[in-house]
């Protein structure tokens, strides 16, 4: 376990903007791996390469192409997370012979202090690059984002309606965060830099929360909500999945967004217990309560992780629960099957 270190809360000087100037995704991966080596403070452990690998963007090339058209998916992780968070879902696409690209959003993968100077256009620039790089390699592009990553995927389509996107997979999209002071975060960020300072003992994500990062995702969510008010429908197929008991994002708003804006061929998977009566045939429910001893409820952070995940799953190298919250999804297979059925 890493002891609290003041250096974690200062910008590293390497990772507050999108400053990649190359062309290929392979160059982008190498560029970010060098940043991570320079900026991380925990590489003097027994497993530095595991830490670097977990935080680095990656590319998985399909072993073979079984369809007439080459397909690719861009994975966009959430706030405070790393590319590791979407490896399990990336593998689902890889098994379907997709080219899989995964981004590292600016400010992430190094030290949480890098998010104290972040601005959301840097995240937009990263996804712009990722989509462009993927389009150069495949015929059909799919986007998949978790939490803030899901919001960024929707935002990308709204900013670039001319760019063909086959489908968007938005998992627990951060349209609206469950934080009463969220509208105040742009002002609070200049007064108090940190919402929480915590011991950084999880090498796959930040535990400390900079106020500036909260402010930027609030501003981006507000931008997307305002843009959607002017539209009748989101003119792209949307697969949405979220947890009713989500403690981070507003599941009620996610449901409203899907009901109002999703096309008829879109689908939504909700983890909720018990399942309510539902008149929208596009929405399906999965059990979200697990009566173990003690009982556990699936919440925000566990949604994208399989029970086989090496860091968060049943045989994890990180703690398995936190105040009754599962850090993996016992019904991940339902999510995986729904994703494949939607392709």
Write the CATH number for 260.
3.40.50.1820
Q: How many residues does the chain have?
A: 343
Position 318 in a domain: no
The answer to whether position 30 is within a domain reads yes
Tell me how far apart the alpha carbons of residues 238 and 202 are, in angstroms, rounded to a whole number: 32
Burial class (CB in 10 A: 0-12, 13-18, 19+), 20: middle
Inside any domain, residue 307: no
- In the predicted model, what is the mean pLDDT of residues 316-324? 64
- Which ranges of the chain does DSSP label H, i.e. alpha helix? 25-39, 48-55, 87-95, 120-135, 148-159, 185-188, 211-229, 251-261, 332-342
Q: Is residue 311 part of a domain?
A: no
**Lowest mean per-residue pLDDT among 44-48, 93-97, 161-165, 207-211:** 44-48
Residue 168 lies in a domain: yes
Task: Give the separation between CA 147 and CA 172, rounded to whole angstroms.
Answer: 5
In a domain, 129, yes or no: yes
Q: What percent of the chain has pLDDT over 90?
A: 79
Instruction: Work out the burial of residue 313: count CB atoms within 10 Å of its CB; fewer than 13 is exposed, 13-18 middle, 19 or more buried.
Output: buried
Note the pLDDT of residue 3.
45
Provide the pLDDT for residue 321.
46
What local confidence, expressed as pLDDT, does residue 2 receive? Answer: 44
pLDDT tens for residues 64-122?
766 678 999 999 999 999 999 999 999 999 999 999 999 999 999 999 999 999 999 99
278-290 pLDDT tens trace: 889 999 999 887 7
Of the pLDDT bands very low, low, confident and very high (cuts 50, 70, 90), residue 4 is very low
Give the number of domains in the chain.
Answer: 1
Cβ-contact 247, 254 below 8 angstroms: no
Q: Which residues are paired to 90 by β-bridges?
A: none
pLDDT in tens, 138-172: 999 999 999 999 999 999 999 999 999 999 999 99
288/218: higher pLDDT: 218
Q: Nearest 5 degrees, angle CA 331-CA 149-CA 261?
A: 85
| Residue 1 pLDDT level (bands cut at 50, 70, 90) | very low
Arithmetic mean of pLDDT, 50-62: 97
Largest CA distance in the chain: 55
Q: Residue 293: pLDDT above 70? A: no
295 within a domain of the structure (yes/no): no
Domain that holds residue 170: 6-289+332-342
């Amino acid at each position: 376990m890493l002891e609290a270190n003041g250096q974690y809360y200062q910008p590293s000087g390497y990772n507050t903007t999108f400053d990649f100037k190359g062309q290929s995704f392979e160059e982008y991966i190498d560029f970010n791996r060098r940043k991570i080596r320079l900026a991380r403070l925990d590489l003097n452990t027994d497993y530095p390469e595991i830490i670097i690998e977990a935080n680095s963007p990656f590319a998985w090339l399909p072993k073979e192409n079984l369809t007439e058209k080459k397909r690719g998916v861009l994975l966009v992780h959430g706030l405070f997370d790393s590319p590791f968070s979407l490896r399990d879902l990336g593998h689902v696409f890889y098994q379907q012979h997709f080219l899989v690209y995964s981004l590292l959003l600016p400010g992430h993968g190094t030290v949480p202090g890098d998010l104290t100077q972040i601005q959301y256009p840097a995240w937009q620039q990263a996804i712009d690059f990722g989509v462009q790089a993927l389009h150069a390699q495949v015929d059909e592009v799919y986007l998949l984002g978790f939490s803030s990553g899901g919001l960024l995927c929707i935002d990308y389509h709204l900013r670039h309606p001319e760019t063909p996107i086959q489908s968007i997979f938005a998992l627990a999209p951060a349209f609206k965060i469950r934080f009463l002071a969220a509208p105040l975060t742009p002002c609070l960020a200049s007064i108090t830099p940190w919402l929480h300072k915590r011991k950084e003992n999880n090498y796959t994500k930040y535990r400390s929360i900079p106020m500036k990062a909260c402010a930027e995702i609030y501003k981006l969510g507000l931008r997307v909500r305002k843009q959607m008010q002017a539209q009748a429908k989101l003119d792209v197929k949307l697969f949405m999945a979220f947890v009713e008991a989500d403690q981070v994002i507003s599941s009620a708003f996610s449901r409203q967004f899907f009901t109002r804006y999703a096309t008829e061929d879109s689908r939504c998977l909700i983890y909720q217990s018990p399942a309510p009566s539902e008149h929208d045939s596009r929405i399906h429910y999965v059990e979200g309560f697990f009566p173990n001893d003690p009982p556990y409820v699936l919440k925000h952070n566990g949604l994208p992780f399989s029970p086989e995940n090496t860091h968060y799953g049943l045989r994890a190298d990180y703690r398995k629960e936190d105040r009754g919250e599962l850090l993996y999804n016992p019904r991940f297979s339902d999510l995986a099957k729904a994703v494949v059925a939607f392709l």
